Structure 1
Amino acid sequence: MSKKRGLSVEEKRSKMLEIFFEKKDVFQLKDLEKIAPKEKGITSMSVKDVLQSLVDDAMVDSERIGTSNYFWAFPSKALHSRKRKLETLESQLTEAKQKKRSLEQSVEKAKVGRQDTEERSKLAEELALLRKKRDQLKADLEKYKECDPDVIEEIRQTNKMAKDAANRWTDNIFSVKSWAKKKFGFEESKIDKTFGIPEEFDYID
């Protein structure tokens, strides 16, 4: 024999509401925890959660009086609640339909002038050719950039700065060599060999 299937959450909520509608009374949680398992098959462990979900959805009213919480719900409230929910859904549906129509109109407007006509195809080909030509011209311009007077002048200035810097270091090396010869009596060839200075080392013209 197969095991009996338990109630789903929605079935529990529905049966819990039946208790309120049938008895038309005000209850405390402990009352419902006794009634629900016996009369509706809702386990006492799940009564609190089911009840709270109905309160959260405004389908059951609750009020704290002293140290106790009381719960009640009447068929008229459920009807009004469903009616409000239906009105909300209908409003959302109307809004969604209007948005859909607006999007469809925007799409139709966007299509204007974009039909695949012979003239449009011809213009598209011309545009592709012009873009290709532009890319080729940019490549040529980059190739001949070194002939640009401004670029040449910039290279000349950079070379001059490098040359001046190299000659300053050459001057410093000659000064150190002169100082070493006077201070320690070293021969110039020995200094060059010790510090790896080539024989042809000199200023850059």
Structure 2
Amino acid sequence: MYKFKFFMDFEKEENWLEQMASSGYHLESTSLGYKFQRREPELATIKIDFRKFKNKEDFIDYCTMFEDSGWKHISGSKGSGMQYFKKINGSGEDEIFSDNHSKAARYKRFADKSFELALSFLPLLLVFYLSDIMNFNAFTNPKELYFTPGLWDKSGTSFWFSFLFETPFALMRGFAWSIIPITVMFYLFFGYQSNKLYFQNVGVKK
């Protein structure tokens, strides 16, 4: 079973995954949403960390360290950032972090990565602006985006057929570039919210 949800708060996401496990739906993977496997209901303890790794060896060492402490790595890869762990040792600790500061640090890492990704798109946005790919006139005069000869002189079925046929291409020509600034805004929003949660979790008002 697949479910599509979005969380900014790791603790809320952990609680939701634990509720799913108690209903018999156990997390299997988190690529393109959450993939669950139907099994017996279980009172599971699930924790989330955010870490990216440059090489596979460091990632394996990271997972092994947690498994030695009674936590099974159930989802995530060296480059995914989001790492999901399930407690497998009943006598172990219920938390994967040693203190509140290290627990809050995952929000800081997520915020830093979001800001980094936002900045990485800015040079591309500048190139689009300097090369006139960003056509702001499309907002005030969208007719410029249609290249069909004599389109606006047509009428009836001929007009609507030509108009509807070309509209998807016109939208791509005029507004495809807007995906970049929208992506930048999303990353900035993620970074801001994660940074806010970081300060909340370390007890600093921001």
Fold shared by both chains (TM-score > 0.5): no
Give the TM-score taking structure 2 as reference length: 0.26
Larger RCO of the pair (alpha carbons < 8 Å, separation 6+): 2
Give the TM-score taking structure 1 as reference length: 0.26
